Structure 1
Amino acid sequence: MKTNESLLDRIIRVVLGVVLVVIAYLGVLTGAWQWVAYVVGAIALITGIVGFCPLYAVFGFQTKK
Structure 2
Amino acid sequence: MMKKNMGTVDKTVRVLIAVVFIGLYFANVITGTVGIALLMFAGVFILTGFISFCPLYYPFGFFSNKRMEDRT
Q: How many residues align?
A: 65
Structure 2, gaps ≥5 residues long = 67-72
Deviation at 1:9, TM superposition (A): 0.5
Please, what TM-score do these two structures have when normalized by structure 1? 0.89
Alignment of 1:1-65 (within 5 A): 1-65=2-66
Show structure 1 runs of 4+ deviating over 3 A. none
The question of whether the paired residues in 2 share the 8 Å contact of 1:4 and 1:64 is answered with yes
CA RMSD of aligned residues (A): 1.0
Sequence identity, in percent?
A: 34
Which structure's residues are more often helix, by fraction? 1
TM-score (norm 2): 0.82
